Amino acid sequence: MKLFPWQKIKPLFNEEDTRLIVKAVRHAEQRTSGEVRVFVESRCSWLDAIDRAAEIFFTLKMENTEQRNAVLVYVALKDHQLAVFGDEGIHNKVGAEYWVKVVGEMLSTFNKENYAKGIAECVIQIGDALTTHFPYDKDTDKNELPDNIVFGK
Protein backbone atom coordinates (compact mmCIF):
# COMPACT_ATOMS: atom_id res chain seq x y z
CA MET A 1 0.00 0.00 0.00
CA LYS A 2 1.27 3.44 -0.89
CA LEU A 3 1.11 6.14 1.74
CA PHE A 4 0.58 8.79 -0.92
CA PRO A 5 -1.46 7.43 -3.85
CA TRP A 6 -0.03 9.94 -6.32
CA GLN A 7 3.51 8.67 -5.76
CA LYS A 8 4.80 6.19 -8.27
CA ILE A 9 6.57 3.11 -7.00
CA LYS A 10 9.77 2.62 -8.96
CA PRO A 11 9.85 -0.80 -10.62
CA LEU A 12 12.63 -3.14 -9.53
CA PHE A 13 13.77 -3.61 -13.15
CA ASN A 14 13.39 -1.47 -16.23
CA GLU A 15 11.74 -2.93 -19.37
CA GLU A 16 15.05 -3.90 -20.98
CA ASP A 17 16.21 -5.80 -17.90
CA THR A 18 12.83 -7.52 -17.59
CA ARG A 19 12.98 -8.59 -21.25
CA LEU A 20 16.52 -9.93 -20.76
CA ILE A 21 15.44 -12.14 -17.85
CA VAL A 22 12.23 -13.39 -19.48
CA LYS A 23 14.17 -14.14 -22.68
CA ALA A 24 16.65 -16.19 -20.63
CA VAL A 25 13.80 -18.15 -19.01
CA ARG A 26 12.24 -18.89 -22.41
CA HIS A 27 15.60 -19.87 -23.90
CA ALA A 28 16.35 -22.19 -20.98
CA GLU A 29 12.94 -23.84 -21.20
CA GLN A 30 13.08 -24.40 -24.98
CA ARG A 31 15.68 -27.11 -24.44
CA THR A 32 14.20 -28.94 -21.47
CA SER A 33 11.02 -30.24 -19.91
CA GLY A 34 12.10 -28.41 -16.75
CA GLU A 35 10.68 -25.10 -15.57
CA VAL A 36 12.41 -21.98 -14.25
CA ARG A 37 10.78 -19.07 -12.45
CA VAL A 38 12.30 -15.86 -11.13
CA PHE A 39 10.95 -14.10 -8.03
CA VAL A 40 12.30 -10.64 -7.15
CA GLU A 41 11.43 -8.48 -4.18
CA SER A 42 13.05 -5.57 -2.36
CA ARG A 43 13.41 -7.03 1.10
CA CYS A 44 13.72 -10.46 2.65
CA SER A 45 12.33 -10.36 6.17
CA TRP A 46 13.42 -13.96 6.70
CA LEU A 47 16.78 -14.73 8.25
CA ASP A 48 17.63 -17.24 5.55
CA ALA A 49 16.91 -16.55 1.88
CA ILE A 50 16.62 -20.27 1.10
CA ASP A 51 13.71 -20.53 3.55
CA ARG A 52 12.01 -17.62 1.82
CA ALA A 53 12.68 -19.20 -1.58
CA ALA A 54 11.13 -22.48 -0.39
CA GLU A 55 8.05 -20.63 0.86
CA ILE A 56 7.63 -18.87 -2.48
CA PHE A 57 8.29 -22.09 -4.41
CA PHE A 58 5.41 -23.84 -2.67
CA THR A 59 3.16 -20.75 -2.73
CA LEU A 60 3.57 -20.65 -6.52
CA LYS A 61 2.78 -24.40 -6.58
CA MET A 62 5.99 -25.14 -8.46
CA GLU A 63 6.12 -28.63 -6.97
CA ASN A 64 3.21 -29.57 -9.24
CA THR A 65 5.37 -30.09 -12.32
CA GLU A 66 5.09 -33.62 -13.67
CA GLN A 67 8.77 -34.52 -13.25
CA ARG A 68 9.37 -32.35 -10.15
CA ASN A 69 11.99 -30.42 -12.13
CA ALA A 70 11.10 -26.80 -11.42
CA VAL A 71 13.66 -24.28 -10.14
CA LEU A 72 13.06 -20.93 -8.46
CA VAL A 73 15.63 -18.14 -8.59
CA TYR A 74 14.93 -15.84 -5.63
CA VAL A 75 16.43 -12.36 -5.22
CA ALA A 76 15.85 -9.69 -2.54
CA LEU A 77 17.59 -6.69 -4.11
CA LYS A 78 17.83 -4.19 -1.24
CA ASP A 79 18.79 -6.83 1.31
CA HIS A 80 21.35 -8.35 -1.06
CA GLN A 81 20.02 -11.86 -0.52
CA LEU A 82 19.48 -14.59 -3.06
CA ALA A 83 18.82 -18.28 -3.28
CA VAL A 84 18.11 -20.95 -5.85
CA PHE A 85 15.59 -23.61 -4.88
CA GLY A 86 15.24 -26.72 -7.02
CA ASP A 87 12.50 -29.32 -6.69
CA GLU A 88 13.42 -32.88 -5.76
CA GLY A 89 13.64 -34.16 -9.34
CA ILE A 90 16.42 -31.79 -10.39
CA HIS A 91 17.99 -31.58 -6.91
CA ASN A 92 18.49 -35.36 -6.85
CA LYS A 93 20.32 -35.11 -10.20
CA VAL A 94 22.64 -32.15 -9.52
CA GLY A 95 23.12 -32.16 -5.73
CA ALA A 96 23.63 -29.36 -3.21
CA GLU A 97 27.09 -28.38 -4.49
CA TYR A 98 25.61 -27.37 -7.84
CA TRP A 99 23.24 -24.86 -6.23
CA VAL A 100 26.09 -23.35 -4.19
CA LYS A 101 28.12 -22.94 -7.40
CA VAL A 102 25.23 -21.28 -9.27
CA VAL A 103 24.58 -18.84 -6.43
CA GLY A 104 28.30 -18.02 -6.19
CA GLU A 105 28.48 -17.19 -9.88
CA MET A 106 25.36 -15.03 -9.66
CA LEU A 107 26.87 -13.20 -6.68
CA SER A 108 30.03 -12.38 -8.62
CA THR A 109 27.92 -10.71 -11.32
CA PHE A 110 25.85 -8.93 -8.65
CA ASN A 111 29.03 -7.54 -7.13
CA LYS A 112 29.43 -5.65 -10.40
CA GLU A 113 25.85 -4.34 -9.83
CA ASN A 114 24.50 -5.98 -12.95
CA TYR A 115 21.54 -7.72 -11.38
CA ALA A 116 19.50 -8.51 -14.49
CA LYS A 117 22.51 -9.95 -16.29
CA GLY A 118 23.40 -12.05 -13.24
CA ILE A 119 19.88 -13.45 -13.01
CA ALA A 120 19.75 -14.13 -16.77
CA GLU A 121 23.10 -15.95 -16.71
CA CYS A 122 21.98 -17.99 -13.70
CA VAL A 123 18.77 -18.97 -15.51
CA ILE A 124 20.73 -20.07 -18.60
CA GLN A 125 23.09 -22.12 -16.43
CA ILE A 126 20.12 -23.78 -14.69
CA GLY A 127 18.61 -24.42 -18.13
CA ASP A 128 21.80 -26.24 -19.13
CA ALA A 129 21.54 -28.54 -16.10
CA LEU A 130 17.85 -29.14 -16.75
CA THR A 131 18.61 -29.94 -20.41
CA THR A 132 21.20 -32.51 -19.36
CA HIS A 133 18.86 -34.32 -16.99
CA PHE A 134 15.41 -33.49 -18.44
CA PRO A 135 15.82 -33.00 -22.20
CA TYR A 136 13.09 -31.46 -24.31
CA ASP A 137 10.63 -33.88 -25.92
CA LYS A 138 8.46 -32.24 -28.58
CA ASP A 139 5.77 -34.90 -28.18
CA THR A 140 5.25 -34.53 -24.45
CA ASP A 141 6.61 -31.13 -23.39
CA LYS A 142 4.30 -28.37 -22.26
CA ASN A 143 4.98 -25.08 -20.53
CA GLU A 144 3.72 -25.93 -17.05
CA LEU A 145 4.56 -22.59 -15.39
CA PRO A 146 4.49 -18.96 -16.60
CA ASP A 147 7.76 -17.45 -17.85
CA ASN A 148 7.24 -13.96 -16.45
CA ILE A 149 9.13 -12.55 -13.45
CA VAL A 150 7.13 -12.55 -10.24
CA PHE A 151 7.63 -9.35 -8.30
CA GLY A 152 7.06 -9.25 -4.54
CA LYS A 153 7.10 -6.21 -2.32
pLDDT in tens, 44-98: 877 799 999 999 999 999 999 999 999 999 999 888 889 999 999 999 999 999 9
pLDDT at position 15 over 70: yes
Domains of the chain, start order:
15-151 (3.10.310.50)
Of residues 24, 20, 54, the one with CA closest to residue 128: 24
Residue with the bigger pLDDT between 121 and 9: it is 121
Whole-number Cα distances in Å, 14 to 17, 76, 112, 133: 5, 16, 18, 33
Q: Which residues lie below 8 Å from residue 122, measured CB to CB, with a gap of 6+?
A: 73, 84, 102, 103, 105, 106
pLDDT of residue 91: 96
Of residues 132, 116, 131, the one with CA closest to residue 73: 116
pLDDT in tens, 28-47: 999 999 999 999 998 887 77
pLDDT of residue 20: 96
Given pLDDT bands bounded at 50, 70 and 90, which one contains residue 5?
A: low
pLDDT at position 7 over 60: no
pTM recorded for the entire structure: 0.89
Given pLDDT bands bounded at 50, 70 and 90, which one contains residue 2?
A: very low
pLDDT in tens, 124-153: 999 999 999 999 888 888 888 989 999 987
pLDDT of residue 1: 44
